[in-house]
Structure 1
């Protein structure tokens, strides 16, 4: 089992093209941990903003009467992928992993696979 710091380091070192990662509580919009980012990628702002994205999708699913769970959300930009993976189980129902990838230097399928692996090992 891995803590937040170890999990974020694992994401940044094992996922090719990773530019930044965060573990976020979407009830508050606060990041519980961040790694990477920089002046052009403020992970604290991204954590808060993506919280609104998740809340909107959850509301939409409720209005549609969908009885399913979100695995992940993908936002594709010109030069980046923004991957949001909602966590489940073990008291992590209100958390998500947020990963920013360099679109030209990453493999989206492998990144999704690696995030699932990190999620399985994460312990709070």
Structure 2
């Protein structure tokens, strides 16, 4: 983890931390937003082709747990933390805070546990593939 509270850390510092701490991989967890409140779902981004397998495995694991939201897919993303990272890296958008229903769900302990368990299972499955 890059921090234990809501302290802002620059994108460059985040990628540098992954390198200096010799991380095995880097997973950036986010909640998205849109101009309207009708958009919902989860998207997983990767930047380098060698990270696509990790992205797909973790994304699939999220939906294996019956997360009950729209599958927005696995896509190439041009985000600093995955583009500039020297470690295997993905960025997860776990829903839209601009959607009231999703925001309410995101705040629940059950959702947070379900997502964290799914991500952990996906990581384990990814390392078993290597």
Please, what TM-score do these two structures have when normalized by structure 1?
0.35
Structure with the higher fraction of residues in helix conformation: 2
Structure whose alpha-carbon radius of gyration is higher: 2
Structure with the higher fraction of residues in strand conformation: 1
Please, what TM-score do these two structures have when normalized by structure 2?
0.34
